[in-house]
Amino acid sequence: MRFPISLLLLPCAAAAVVAQPAPSARDRAVAQRVLTAVPLIDGHNDLPWAIRNAKGAPRDVDAYDLRRPTPGHTDLARLATGRVGGQFWSVYIPGNIKDSGFARVQLEQIDIARRVIAKYPERLRFVTTAAGVRSAFAAGRIGSLMGMEGGHAIENSLGALRAYYDAGVRYMTLTHNQTLDWADAATDSARRGGLTPFGREVVREMNRLGMLVDLSHVAPSVMSQALDATEAPVIFSHSSARAIADHPRNVPDSILARLPKNGGVVMVTFVPGFVSPSIIAWNRQRAAKAADLRKGADTAAARRELDAWIAANPTPKATLADVANHVDHIRKVAGVDHVGLGGDFDGIDTVVEGLEDVSTYPALIAELSRRGWSEADLRKLVGENILRVMASAERVSERLRRERKPSTATIEQLDRAPGRTTGSP
């Protein structure tokens, strides 16, 4: 982790920003041709969670009408403008649920996603395979898949993992923000040494099922060990490049360099705090300022002083150019076959300037065209790479299902830790 940048550097950094030329009419035309030829497949959209928490009518799929403008980032008109051709709808649940088991809430989120997809048959089509996405796109529909965000939902059970696959889930992020009994999270303390033996068995069973192993949110040790364990390509459904923005949610170059051998893909996210180096520096400065102020006895005065500092040093803005920088870097280190897009729309409170909602993907494609990306490479970015990964995982599954039966291993057998519960120290 880098030390906080001096507060005095912020004005200099802002002054150093050089305005870039806007994409030309030719670049915009390139973007439209690419998005007509190949389905743009986004790796992560939290619409089901937005519906669960909608003001006035929580969980009411009919009330959250996508045929009208919605309060969030996603509706049918904006999906059409954005030329979205495939979407992994995240069936996220928090990793710190207190009042009930994970399974009930996870099943409710799957139910919300399935009902949303079924409600708009003229625009959305439920699919579970690469061929299904292509077929939906050819028919003018958005191929709609589901991805689970966090292995806490399986409650240390491979049987539960299989049940979620049977319900239609086609990727699972191994952790969310909390370290599990069997895997360390990027934003929590590392207590497992990466993946435990049971964690590796989870990866093996996901390979057998044909469920994509999603390494967003996990610690770098888990990224590395999952790459060692997997027999199928992995994905990062919504992550960016750590060399560009030093945030633990991003992917180090050492991992990017391994993707060509594995075949996987990093789907660049649009989360401002993950893509903007200026925001990351600002957050560190704010945290350092707050820590200094906490040393004093007058809490109210410290709060006022921190508020004054924030007013004098407003949060920087993330830009479309920041996101394009991550896409460029991943192409440089991992190769053009290993990068995609995963916006995290409806899962973020603030947005990137120029990428405010699902209508804005063409602007990013046009910017990359301006930077010299060929149409062939842009087709890989928007959809061909993730379709290749999906098809490869399906072929691996076909082979492994012939070679081995469903795993009956338990965490107690493999990790020799009877009585532990998910998320325990």
Q: Which residues of 381-418 are buried (b: 16+ CB within 10 A; e: fewer)?
A: bbbbbbbbbbbbbbebbeebeeeeeebebebeebbeee
Amino acid residing at 283: N
Catalytic pick from 44, 152, 326, 329? 44
Catalytic pick from 181, 184, 188, 217? 217
**Which residues are 169's β-sheet partners?**
146
Distance of CA 29 to the CA centre of its chain: 28
Amino acid residing at 240: S
| Three-class DSSP category at 145 | strand
Catalytic pick from 344, 357, 367, 384? 344
Catalytic pick from 73, 238, 247, 326? 238
CB 7 within 8 A of CB 288: no
Q: Which residues contact 121 (CB under 8 A, 6 or more apart)?
A: none
Which of 42, 118, 9 shows the shortest CA–CA distance to 342? 42
- Active-site residue 149, yes or no? yes
CA distance 128 to 398: 15
Phi/psi for 276 (5° steps) reads: -100, 115
CB 357 within 8 A of CB 71: no
- Active-site residue 46, yes or no? yes
- Active-site residue 176, yes or no? yes
Which of 323, 361, 400 shows the shortest CA–CA distance to 87? 361
CB 272 within 8 A of CB 348: yes
Catalytic pick from 73, 152, 176, 338? 176
- Active-site residue 247, yes or no? no
Q: Which residues contact 229 (CB under 8 A, 6 or more apart)?
A: 195, 200, 203, 204
Catalytic pick from 75, 149, 337, 415? 149
CA distance 276 to 316: 8
Catalytic pick from 27, 42, 46, 377? 46
CA angle 83, 360, 147 (to 5 degrees): 70
CA distance 141 to 222: 36
- Active-site residue 322, yes or no? no
CA distance 223 to 161: 20
- Longest C-alpha distance within the chain, in Å? 68
CA distance 271 to 148: 19
Active site residues: 44, 46, 149, 176, 217, 238, 344
